[in-house]
Amino acid sequence: MAYPAPPSLLLCSVPWQTDDATLLQHFSQFGAVEEAQIMREKYTGKSRGFGFVTFRSTSEAGQRVFGQAPGLCCCAGRGPEAAF
């Protein structure tokens, strides 16, 4: 039995000063966020410049985010820098 993919978004080119709470606050405007996480270096704790946001439902992840902010989660060129 195949399970649906989780409604997660990969965010690239995230500004270094962005933290988990900032991601959660920003993406909550698009729907219920289950988890928002900036990926960090194992030993230094510094941001790696990317993260993930997981929504509670796929419809919120797709229709609301991409409908209101096309290109927001694109890893090439302009990323979410302008959104934070």
**CB 6, CB 72: distance < 8 Å:** no
Count Cβ atoms within 10 A of the Cβ of residue 24 and give its class: 0-12 exposed, 13-18 middle, 19 or more buried.
Answer: middle
pLDDT tens for 15-59 read 999 999 999 998 888 888 899 999 999 999 999 999 998 888 766
Q: Which long-range contacts (CB under 8 A, 24 or more apart) does 37-42 make?
A: 38/14
The span from the CA of 48 to the CA of 6, in Å, is: 22
> pTM for this structure?
0.68
Given this model, what pLDDT does residue 31 score?
A: 82
Given this model, what pLDDT does residue 83 score?
A: 47
Annotated domain spans of the chain: 8-83
Residue 13's closest CA among 49, 67, 39, 59?
49
* CATH code of the domain occupying 8-83: 3.30.70.330
